[in-house]
């Protein structure tokens, strides 16, 4: 039995119960695996594949397709800056450079304290509120430097306090209950 099933049996059963077909739970279980392992490494993909009875190459193909799944280790907070057309027209590329400079990292890099990773991603469907970013599944829209600075400060405080927001999987389960 894989580590994911050993450690999170109740959550896995809760997720599986939400879907008429087991395989449909794959994205939710990939979130759980990512939270457990930090990114979608080989073990994480194999755990998901074993739970669902699918080939691990199927999990691999989804991990490669969706930018929400990480194939390399990332920081605690992943700042996914949309650099697609509408956001680019409103200065997203320059904003991404500014964000990296403020954090002292390159694009796709992670800060030394392991808190922040910056990534460029394709359209996140909030084009009317460009430029924008997504951080751990939450949108920050109409971005400017002041908003970015406030976000970083809030996240640093959150990390220092040890208070965690509910994980993605817990949010999926809570949402499905409503």
Q: Which is nearer to ligand FES, 86 or 173 (CB)?
A: 86
The CB-of-145 to ligand FES minimum distance in angstroms stands at: 18
Residue found under tokens 């997203």? 92
Least distance between ligand FES and beta carbon 139 (Å): 9
DSSP secondary structure string for all residues of 17-47 = TT-SSGGGGHHHHHHHHHHHHSS--HHHHHH
Kindly tell me which of 78 and 126 has the beta carbon lying closer to ligand FES: 126
Nearer to ligand FES, 45 or 87 (CB): 87
Q: C-beta of 34: minimal distance to ligand FES in Å? A: 22
Q: Which residues lie near ligand FES (CB under 6 A)? A: 82, 84-87, 123-127, 130, 132
Buried b (16+ CB within 10 A) or exposed e, 2-39: bebeeebeebbebbbeeeeeeeebbebbbbbbbbbbbe
At residue 159, what are phi and psi to the nearest 5 degrees?
Answer: -65, -40
- Least gap, CB of 136 to ligand FES (angstroms): 17
CB of residue 100 to ligand FES, shortest distance in Å: 18
């Amino acid at each position: 039995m894989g580590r994911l099933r050993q450690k999170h049996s109740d959550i896995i059963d809760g997720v599986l119960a939400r879907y008429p077909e087991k395989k449909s739970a794959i994205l939710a279980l990939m979130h759980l695996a990512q939270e457990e392992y930090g990114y979608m490494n080989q073990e994480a993909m194999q755990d998901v594949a074993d739970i669902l009875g699918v080939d691990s190459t199927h999990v691999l193909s989804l991990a490669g397709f969706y930018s929400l799944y990480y194939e390399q280790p990332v920081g605690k907070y992943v700042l996914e800056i949309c650099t697609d057309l509408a956001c680019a027209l409103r200065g997203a590329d320059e904003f991404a450079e500014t964000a990296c400079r403020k954090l002292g990292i390159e694009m796709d890099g992670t800060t030394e304290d392991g808190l922040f990773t910056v990534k460029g991603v394709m359209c996140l469907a909030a084009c009317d509120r460009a430029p924008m970013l997504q951080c751990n599944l939450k949108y920050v829209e109409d971005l400017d430097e002041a908003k970015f600075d406030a976000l970083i400060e809030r996240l640093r405080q959150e990390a220092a306090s040890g208070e965690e927001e509910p994980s993605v999987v817990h949010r999926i389960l809570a949402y499905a209950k409503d």
